[in-house]
Structure formats: structure tokens, C-alpha cells
Amino acid sequence: MPMPLIDLFSDTKTQPGAAMRAAMAAAEVGDERAGEDPTVNALEARGAALLGKEAALYLPSGTMCNEIALAVHCRPGEAVLCEAGAHIVGFEAGGAAALAGVMLEPISGTRGMFTAAQLRAQLRADNLQAPLQRLVAVENTTNLGGGAVWPLQDLREIAACAHDAGLATHMDGARLLNAVVASGVSAADFAQGFDSAWIDFSKGLGAPGGALLTGSKAFVREARRWQLRIGGAMRQSGIIAAACLYALDHNLARLAVDHARARQLAQGVARIPGLGIDVATVQTNLVYFDITAPGWDAAKLAAATLAQGVRLCPMGARRMRAVTHLDVDDAGIVRALEVIAAALRG
């Protein structure tokens, strides 16, 4: 009998368990677009309170949250300042340009984060020959930065700098709740200086889909217009919103287990000849490591481990990512390390 797949490719690979499926089956539903789905309404109210905002909008994905936020905050031709490795730069199929019509002005930070001083250095006075800078966006935790958690003081200084310059602020919170669990800082405190922020349910929280975009009542009203415009209304979406409510009740605190397993994985990787990793940089559930063994690259190692039942994510020619989540237990981490080591020896 083949070994079950140990899927470390992403935390989006989680599967809803029996109790979550039961909650979905029992969900009270209605027409979400008309504001008549009680489960969606409950989730939006809870999410707004969690992030300390006036209102929230339930959307199919985090990418839609980002794209709608850009479109609400900006007009076509305006500029968004963000870190060079941000999700909106390289992982949303050019949506910033295609949907919102905005330009992205990247800041080269460290591990996906930049400072208020770096932001200030890139701000410019109004110039008719240049795009008008309208929005500053951050990503917490940072994906390409290895799951790094932004220091709260840095976020507050960046938000203050942006607002002083007349710019709006947006937080990509795909893994914001990982940051909350890892740091002990509340989601509302992280989002305090940001005019919009969102959280995802289909990653570490294990729901089958959905994300919540939050902000002021006026912002969310305009976001609902964009939801309709780009086909984001889901009608009786309380069925999946129920999974999100279940996830908040049952899967939030256990993110700490994923973080512990990520450290366990990183420590094991550090002991494997031919791999390089800085274990101290692993703060949450993302583990990045480099392949130094001669004759090996990321694609080759990914193929070799997949053949033995362990799926990893190539993130460059010789860079690899592994993501811990609720469907990978301690035995899975041990098995993954054994397979990676054996592949490199072979």
C-alpha cells in the first residue's frame, strides 16, 4: 500500500475535516448578494471586530481582496508602493494593472519588509509627469520573506508616514493570523494603522475557501460595488462561510503547532548535507532553504521527493519552500526529512 502524500507544497492544500464539513452542511444560508445570508453576515461582523474595523466583506479569495482594495483606494494611472517581493507584484497575474489600472512602485526591503525611512525616501512631491502615489501596501506575514512577522512599531511608523503624505494604507493579511499567534500581537493592533486589511481562511485555518476584506463602512460599500463588477458574489455562500467560522473557533490557536513543526523541519534541514538554511529566520509556518549539493536544483529535488511521497515547492533555481499546516503531523515532518536526505544521498 503506498504511503500517503506528505504535502508541504502550501498551506492551501489543507482539507476540511469531518467536523468542519458537518458545520458546512448545517449552515443557515440565504442570498449573500442581497445581504440575506445569516452565516455570511455573522462572519463579516466577527471579522470586522477581529481586525478592529467598521465593516467587512466576504470574498472568494485573498487575491480578490487585494485587487478590490487597489481598485477602491486608487484611480487608474496612480501608483502603489509595496515591497518588491509582495504578492501583488508577482503572484496575481498582473491584476493590479489589468483590473485597477495602477502602477506598482517596489521598495527593495529585507525579507519582504521595508522601513518608514525607506518609504519616505521613495515618496515624491506631486509631479504632473509622474504617477500620483496613492497607496502603501504591506504583506504580513511575508511569503517570499520566509513567513517573517512585521514588527508592530515598524508598521505603525509606515502607516503614519503614509498618512502624513496623504496616502492610504493596505495590509495583505493572507497569513496575518499566523503573525498574531507567533507574536502575541492582536490582529486589530497589527491592522490599526491600515485603511484596509484582510485575512484568509483557506491556508492555515483549513477552510475550503474565502477571505474577509475589512475597512471603513464607506470603503466596504465601494468594495461591494467591485465585488459585483468582477463576479465575486457567491449567493448562498454561508455554506463555506460556516467553515470559516468553524476555523476561527477551532483552528486559530493551533497555528502554533504548525509553527513548532516548521522549526522542527528547519532544524532537520540544517542537518542534511547539501542544503542551506538559517533556522533563526523561521518564525511561522514557511520554511525556505537553498540547495548547495552539486548536480541538484529545486526542480530535480522536488521531483525526487515527490516520487517518494513528499511534495515540496520550488521557488527558484536552487531555492525550495516547505509549508507546514494542519494536515501534516509530527510523523509527516520526520518522514519528509528522511525522504529529502535520502534523495540527496541517492
Domain boundaries of the chain, sorted by first residue: 18-250, 254-345
Q: Are strands 319-323 and 196-200 parallel, antiparallel or unpaired?
A: unpaired
- CATH fold of 18-250, please? Aspartate Aminotransferase; domain 2 (3.40.640)
Mean per-residue pLDDT, 271-275: 98
pLDDT (0 to 100) of residue 225 = 97
pLDDT (0 to 100) of residue 346 = 83
The partner residues of 276 in beta bridges, in order of sequence, read 290
pLDDT (0 to 100) of residue 8 = 98
* DSSP conformational letter for 148: B
Confidence band of 333 (pLDDT split at 50, 70, 90): very high
d(CA 31, CA 233): 9
The yes-or-no verdict on residue 1 having pLDDT over 60 is no
Neighbours of 33 (CB within 10 A): 17
The yes-or-no verdict on residue 205 having pLDDT over 60 is yes
Sheet holding 103-107: strands in order across?
A: 55-59, 211-215, 196-200, 168-172, 133-139, 79-83, 103-107
The pLDDT tens digits of the residues spanning 123-159 come to 999 999 999 999 999 999 999 999 999 999 999 999 9
The C-alpha torsion from 85 through 220 and 99 to 82, rounded to 10°, is -20
pLDDT (0 to 100) of residue 3 = 80
Average pLDDT of the chain to the nearest whole number: 97
Q: Where are the beta strands (DSSP E) in the chain?
A: 6-7, 55-59, 79-83, 103-107, 133-139, 168-172, 196-200, 211-215, 275-276, 286-291, 310-311, 313-314, 319-323
The yes-or-no verdict on residue 36 having pLDDT over 80 is yes
Neighbours of 342 (CB within 10 A): 13
Q: Which CATH superfamily is 254-345 part of?
A: Aspartate Aminotransferase, domain 1 (3.90.1150.10)
Confidence band of 201 (pLDDT split at 50, 70, 90): very high
